Structure 1
Amino acid sequence: MEPRRKFIQKMGLLAGAFSANNIFNELHAASWDAAGQKIDGLAPETVAADEDYWSVIQQGYSVDSNLIILNNGGVSPSPRVVQDAVERYNKLSNQGPSYYMWRILDQGREPLRQKLAVLAGCSAEEIAINRNTTEALNTVIYGLDLRAGDEVIGTKQDYPNMIQAYKQRALREGIVYTQLSFNFPVESDAEIVEAFEKAITPKTKLIHVTHIINWVGQIMPVKKICAMARKHNIEVIVDGAHSFGLLDFKIPELGCDYFGTSLHKFLSAPIGSGMLWIKKEKIEKIWPLLCNSEPRSADIRKFETLGTRSFPIEQGIGEAVNFQNAIGSKRKEERIRYLKNYWANKVKDIPKVKIHTSFKPEYSCAICGVSVDGMTPGELDSALFSTYKIHTVGIVWENISCVRVTPHVYTKLQDLDKLVLAIEEIAGRKKQ
Structure 2
Amino acid sequence: MDNRRAFLKKAGALVSAFSAHSLFQELHAATWSELEERYRHLEPLEMAQNEDYWAVIQQGYSASASPVIILNNGGVSPSPIVVQQAVERFNTMANQGPSYYMWKILDQGRENLRAALAQLGGCDPEEVAINRNSTEALVTIIYGLDLQKGDEVIGSTQDYPNMMQAWKQRAMREGIVYKQLTFDFPIENDDIIVEAYRKAITSKTKLIHLTHVVNWNGQIMPVRKICDMAHAQGIEVIIDGAHSYGLLDFKIPDLGGDYFGTSLHKYLSAPIGSGMLWIKKEKIGKVWPLVCAGDPKSGDIRKFENLGTRSFPIEQGIGEALNFHNAIGTKRKEERVRYLKDYWAQKAKEIPGVHIHTSLKPEFSCALAGVSVEGLTPGELERELMLKYKIHTSPISVENIHLVRVSPHVYTKLSDLDRLVEALKKIASQV
> Shared topology, TM-score over 0.5?
yes
CA distances 1:62-94 after superposition (whole Å, capped 9, x unpaired): 015311000000000000111011000000000
SS in 1 for 2:351: coil
Task: Tell me the distance in 1 between the aligned counterparts of 2:174 and 2:10.
Answer: 54
Q: Distance in 2 between matches of 1:22 and 1:96?
A: 22
SS, match of residue 109 in structure 2: helix
Q: How does 1:115-130 map to 2 (within 5 A)?
A: 115-130=116-131
CA positional deviation for 1:4: 2.3
Q: Secondary structure in 2 aligned to 1:289?
A: coil
Give the Cα separation in 2 of the matches to 1:110 and 1:9.
Answer: 19
Q: CA deviation at 1:38?
A: 2.1
Q: CA RMSD in A?
A: 0.7
| Alignment-derived partner of residue 402 in structure 1 | 403
SS in 2 for 1:245: coil
- Match status 1:278 vs 2:279: yes
Indicate the SS of the match to 2:225: helix
Q: Count matched residues.
A: 429
Correspondence for 1:68: 69
Following superposition, the deviation at residue 29 of structure 1 comes to 1.0
Q: Is the 8 A contact 1:216 1:368 kept in 2?
A: yes
1:240 maps to which residue? Answer: 241
Structure 2: distance between partners of 1:354 and 1:275: 35
- 1:28 is aligned to 28
1:177 Cα deviation after fit: 0.4
- Give the drift of 1:8: 1.8
Deviation at residue 39 of structure 1 after TM alignment:
1.4
- CA drift of 1:5 comes to 2.7
Aligned to 2:195: 194
- Distance in 1 (CA, whole Å) between partners of 2:156 and 2:203 is 19
Following the alignment from structure 1 to structure 2, what is the Cα–Cα distance between the partners of residues 416 and 8? 46
| Aligned residue in 2 for 1:158 | 159
- Identical-residue share of aligned pairs (%): 69
Secondary structure of 2:28 counterpart: helix
Tell me the alpha carbon deviations over residues 51-71 of structure 1, each in whole angstroms, 9 at most, x when there is no partner: 000000000000153110000
Cα shift at 1:130 = 0.3
Paired AA for residue 184 in structure 1: F
Please report how far the alpha carbon of residue 149 of structure 1 lies from its aligned counterpart in structure 2 after TM superposition.
Answer: 0.2
Within 5 Å, which residues of 2 pair with 1:67-86?
67-86=68-87
Deviations 1:386-418 (A, max 9, x none): 110000011001110000000000000000000
Partner Cα distance (1:394, 1:89) in 2? 36
The answer as to 2:185 corresponding to 1:184 is yes
Residue 56 of structure 2 aligns with which residue?
Answer: 56
* Distance (Å, rounded) in 1 between the aligned partners of 2:121 and 2:142: 21
CA distance in structure 2 between the partners assigned to 1:3 and 1:428 by the alignment: 67
Within a 5 Å distance, the mapping from 1:316-395 to structure 2 comes to: 316-395=317-396
Indicate conservation of the 8 Å contact 1:217/1:364, yes or no.
yes
Partners in 2 of 1:27 and 1:45 — Cα distance?
27
In the TM superposition, what is the alpha-carbon distance from 1:2 to its structure 2 partner? 3.5
Residue of structure 1 equivalent to 2:132: 131
CA distance in 1, matches of 2:75, 2:10: 38
In 2: Cα distance, 1:84 partner to 1:3 partner: 23
Residue 22 of structure 1, CA deviation: 0.7
Q: Distance in 2 between matches of 1:10 and 1:131?
A: 24
Q: Offset at 1:42?
A: 1.0
CA offsets, 1:317-347, max 9 Å, x none? 0000001100000000000000000000001
Q: Secondary structure at the match of 2:361?
A: coil
Greater mean deviation of Cα atoms: 348-357 or 27-36 = 27-36
Q: 2:298 and 2:30 mapped to 1: Cα distance?
A: 46
Amino acid at match of 2:43: A
Tell me the residue number matched to 2:424. 423
Q: Distance in 2 between matches of 1:112 and 1:3?
A: 26
Query: In 2, are the aligned partners of 1:23 and 1:319 still within 8 Å (CA)?
Result: yes
Poorly superposed stretches of 4+, deviation over 6 Å: none
Contact 1:71-1:405 within 8 A present in 2 as well: yes
Uncovered stretches (5+) of structure 2, i.e. residues with no partner: none
**What's the offset of the Cα at 1:290?**
0.6
Are the counterparts in 1 of residues 245 and 267 from structure 2 also a CA contact under 8 Å? yes
| Structure 1 partner of 2:142 | 141
Cα distance, 1:3 vs. partner?
A: 2.8
What's the counterpart of residue 47 of structure 1? 47
Counterpart residue identity of residue 365, structure 1 = C
Judge conservation of contact 1:31–1:56 (CA < 8 Å) in 2. Answer: no
Match in the other structure for 2:264? 263
Take 2:279 and 2:348, find their aligned partners in 1: how far apart are those partners?
A: 41
Distance of 2:419 and 2:35 partners within structure 1 = 27
Distance in 2, Cα, partners of 1:343 & 1:31: 30
Cα contact 2:11–2:105 (8 A) shared by 1:
no
SS of 1:18's equivalent in the other structure is coil
Comparing 389-398 with 61-70, greater Cα deviation is found at 61-70
Instruction: Specify the SS of the correspondent of 2:73.
Output: coil
Residue number in structure 1 paired with 2:216: 215
Q: Note the alpha carbon deviations across 1:19-50, whole angstroms, 9 max, x for none.
A: 12211111111221222222112110000000
**Contact 1:246 1:266 (8 Å CA) reproduced:** yes
Contact 1:93/1:100 (CA < 8 Å) preserved in 2?
A: yes
Unaligned runs of at least 5 residues, structure 1? none
SS of 1:268's equivalent in the other structure is coil
Residue aligned with 2:110, SS: helix
Alpha-carbon contact 1:369-1:403 (below 8 Å) kept: yes
Structure 1: distance between partners of 2:331 and 2:269: 16
- 2:24–2:320 CA contact under 8 A, matched in 1: yes
Q: Report the counterpart of residue 110 of structure 1 in structure 2.
A: 111
Give the secondary structure class of the aligned counterpart of 2:62.
coil
Q: Any conservation in 1 of the 2:207–2:237 contact (CA below 8 Å)? A: yes
User: Which secondary structure state, in structure 2, belongs to the residue aligned with residue 190 of structure 1?
Assistant: helix
